[in-house]
């Protein structure tokens, strides 16, 4: 530990393994944002009138807002007029019906990332709605799901095919007025995913979408809406990885989850945006609004996330616990290495009686990373008997990094209980030495300790995702010790 190790230096110098660019031709509009660009986006997607109106309302509201400045992150001001707001792969003009019709270059890209789309879809029984840049390219298992009354499709398709569902639920969890990035997303969102699980249906497979930013300077504005009708259940997986870039890229997604009575949504994310090089150049800015609304009694929403990428992450998957006895959960691992910054956490808003929430946050900071947990637990007057349990652990590697915890707890009902525990620890030399005497390399030893630290969160992930997440943790921390 004490002396610099040449092997460690070599590992540090190793490049991001997903950092390559695929040269698919892109159909993009000129940079900049105004009402004409929004009309163009809407037109290109053949949207109904209500959608355009909604976008324009959001845009006009966005013009009155400014970017939040309270988070524990630092970056140069973003020039929103230099961003490209619409980009679609050329193949969109001739939308593929099956994987065979998909641009082989694209499939190759997934291949390089170790995401064999076809294998995953066919062998793992996972339906995949792959979002490449801003347009859904391949959707599998859709028909099978359709037989069960389950809708799993590109957002743009849902807008055309199921306008009444979209109108009924869109923006009911994250209104366009919610925050700066949510307003921007509402104005310009390009595509994303829509899921509807009908009454009493237990979705028989994990639904999964892989995102990947590919076009230089094209901001990504995904929009996801998942509605679980009464007594239904769905588990949804979101994963992403981005190729290497020199310019910082803005990603401002919105995810809305809605559960009606007795319904449950499990939403898992393994996030691997390109974090920037060792000096912090070129990474993704990930400003995401994710929120769930337990509208019905006895309904459940859980967020599980493994955040390893991005130059900057600003993200608070939250749950509004409206229905009596509803349950919200948040399990998170966030890693910051090199010059990465993360300001992430959750909000649990208790409105219904006997609502329960659990928050388990594991922050790992290495290199010059800065890791902030920001959590709000608000228990309203109406939430008699509400319970919250929060655990917030930070692991520091080296002495150049930092971890900060900002818990905000507001309890307005005397019968409610909110518990908060927080720890900060360092990987000890004794632990490393012990594992190395058992034949593990220093890197493997670090990974083992980190995986142990994150175990409570990792075990919430579906099996194949858990394996992927562990690999990601290892890649993210390469060179963190020395």
Partner 1 sequence: MLSIKNLKVNVDGKSILQGLDLEVKAGEVHAIMGPNGSGKSTLAQVLAGQEQFRIVDGEIRYDGNDLSTLKPEQRAHAGIFLAFQYPVEIPGVSNIYLLKAAVNAARRARGAPELDAMDFLAVVKEKLKLVDMPETFLYRAVNEGFSGGEKKRNEILQLLLLEPRLAILDETDSGLDIDALKIIANGVNSLRSAQRAFVLVTHYQRLLDYIKPDRVHVLAGGRIVRSGGAELALELEERGYGWIEAETGAGA
In the complex, least distance from residue 432 CB atom to partner 1, rounded to whole angstroms: 9
CA proximity to 140, closest of 159, 116, 173: 116
- Residue 271's DSSP bridge partners are 240, 307
Q: How far is the CB of 58 from partner 1 (least distance, A)?
A: 43
Q: Which C-beta is closer to partner 1: that of 50 or that of 433?
A: 433
Position of tokens 């294998």? 119
Q: Select from 205-213, 342-350, 438-446, 466-474 the region that touches partner 1 (CB under 8 A).
A: 438-446
- The answer to whether residue 435 forms part of the interface with partner 1 (CB under 8 A) is yes
Q: Binding of partner 1 at residue 467 (CB under 8 A)?
A: no
Exposure pattern of 209-243 as b/e (b: 16+ CB <10 Å)? bbbbbbbeebbbbbbbbbbbbbbbbbbbbbbbbbb
Question: Exposure string (b/e) for 324-341, b if CB count within 10 Å is 16 or more?
Answer: bbbbbbbbbbbbbbbbbb
* Position 453 contacts partner 1 (CB under 8 A): yes
Interhelix angle for 35-44 vs 49-62, to 10°?
Answer: 150
Does residue 3 bind partner 1 (CB under 8 A)? Answer: yes
Using the rule CB under 8 A, give the single segment among 141-149, 189-197, 269-277, 453-461 that binds partner 1.
Answer: 453-461
Instruction: Identify which of residues 355 and 361 has a Cβ nearer to partner 1 in the complex.
Output: 361
Could you tell me if 246 and 281 are in contact, meaning their C-beta atoms sit under 8 angstroms apart? yes
Binding of partner 1 at residue 463 (CB under 8 A)? Answer: no
Cβ proximity to partner 1, 225 vs 454, nearer residue: 454
Size of the site for partner 1 (CB under 8 A): 26
- Please tell me the distance from the alpha carbon of residue 80 to that of residue 222, in angstroms, as a whole number: 17
Q: Binding partner 1 by CB under 8 A: which of 17, 34, 400, 441?
A: 441
Q: How far is the CB of 440 from partner 1 (least distance, A)?
A: 6
Query: Smaller CB distance to partner 1: residue 134 or 332?
Result: 332
Q: In the complex with partner 1, which residue's Cβ is closer, 266 or 362?
A: 362
For position 433 contacting partner 1 by CB under 8 A, the verdict is yes
Residue of the chain from 27, 111, 456, 464 that contacts partner 1 (CB under 8 A): 456
Interface with partner 1 includes 424 (CB under 8 A)?
A: no
How would you label 425-461 residue by residue, b for 16+ Cβ within 10 Å and e otherwise?
eebeeeebeebeeeeeebbebbbbbbbebbeebbebb
The Cβ of residue 268 has, within 10 Å, a number of other Cβ atoms equal to 23
End-to-end CA distance of the chain: 6
Rg (CA), the chain: 22
6 binds partner 1 (CB under 8 A): no
Question: According to the binding rule CB under 8 A, does residue 421 interact with partner 1?
Answer: no
Binding site for partner 1 (CB under 8 A): 1-3, 428-431, 433-442, 444, 448-449, 451-456
């Amino acid at each position: 530990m004490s002396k610099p190790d040449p092997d460690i230096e070599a590992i540090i110098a190793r490049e991001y393994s997903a950092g390559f660019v695929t040269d698919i031709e892109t159909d993009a509009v000129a940079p900049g944002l105004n009402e004409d660009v929004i009309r163009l986006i809407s037109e290109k997607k053949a949207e109904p009138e209500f959608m355009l109106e909604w976008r324009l309302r959001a845009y006009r509201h966005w013009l009155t807002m400014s970017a939040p400045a309270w988070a524990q992150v630092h970056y140069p001001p973003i020039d929103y007029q230099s961003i490209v707001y619409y980009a679609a792969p050329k193949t969109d003009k001739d939308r593929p019906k099956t994987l065979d019709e998909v641009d082989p270059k694209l499939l190759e890209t997934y291949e390089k990332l170790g995401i064999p789309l076809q294998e995953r879809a066919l062998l793992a029984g996972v339906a995949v709605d792959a979002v490449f840049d801003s347009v859904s390219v391949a959707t599998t298992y859709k028909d099978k799901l359709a037989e069960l009354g389950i809708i799993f499709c590109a957002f743009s398709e849902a807008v055309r095919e199921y306008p009444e569902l979209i109108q009924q639920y869109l923006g009911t969890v994250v209104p366009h007025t919610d925050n700066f990035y949510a307003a921007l997303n509402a104005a310009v969102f390009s595509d994303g995913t829509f899921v509807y699980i009908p009454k009493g249906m237990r979705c028989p497979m994990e639904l999964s979408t892989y995102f990947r930013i590919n076009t230089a300077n094209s901001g990504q504005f995904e929009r996801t809406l998942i509605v679980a009708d009464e007594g239904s259940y769905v588990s949804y997986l979101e994963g992403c990885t981005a190729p290497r870039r020199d310019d910082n890229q803005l990603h401002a997604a919105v995810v809305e989850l809605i559960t009606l009575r007795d319904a449950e949504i499990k939403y898992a994310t393994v996030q691997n945006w390109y974090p920037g090089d060792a000096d912090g150049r070129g990474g993704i800015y990930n400003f995401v609004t994710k929120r769930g609304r337990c509208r019905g009694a006895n309904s459940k929403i859980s967020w599980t996330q493994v955040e390893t990428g991005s130059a900057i992450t600003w993200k608070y998957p939250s749950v509004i616990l409206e229905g009596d006895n509803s349950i919200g959960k948040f399990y998170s691992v966030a890693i910051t290495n090199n010059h990465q910054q993360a300001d992430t956490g959750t909000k649990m808003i208790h409105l219904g009686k006997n609502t329960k929430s659990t928050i388990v946050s594991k922050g790992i900071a290495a290199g010059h990373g800065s890791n902030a947990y920001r959590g709000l637990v608000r228990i309203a007057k109406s939430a008699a008997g509400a319970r919250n349990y929060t655990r917030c652990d930070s692991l520091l590697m080296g002495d150049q990094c930092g971890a900060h915890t900002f818990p905000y707890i507001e309890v307005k009902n005397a019968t409610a209980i909110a518990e908060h525990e927080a720890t900060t620890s360092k990987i000890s030399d004794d632990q490393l030495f012990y594992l190395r005497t058992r034949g593990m390399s220093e890197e493997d030893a670090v990974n083992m300790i980190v995986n142990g630290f994150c175990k409570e969160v990792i075990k919430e992930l579906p099996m194949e995702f858990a394996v992927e997440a562990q690999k990601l943790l290892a890649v993210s921390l390469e060179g963190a010790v020395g």
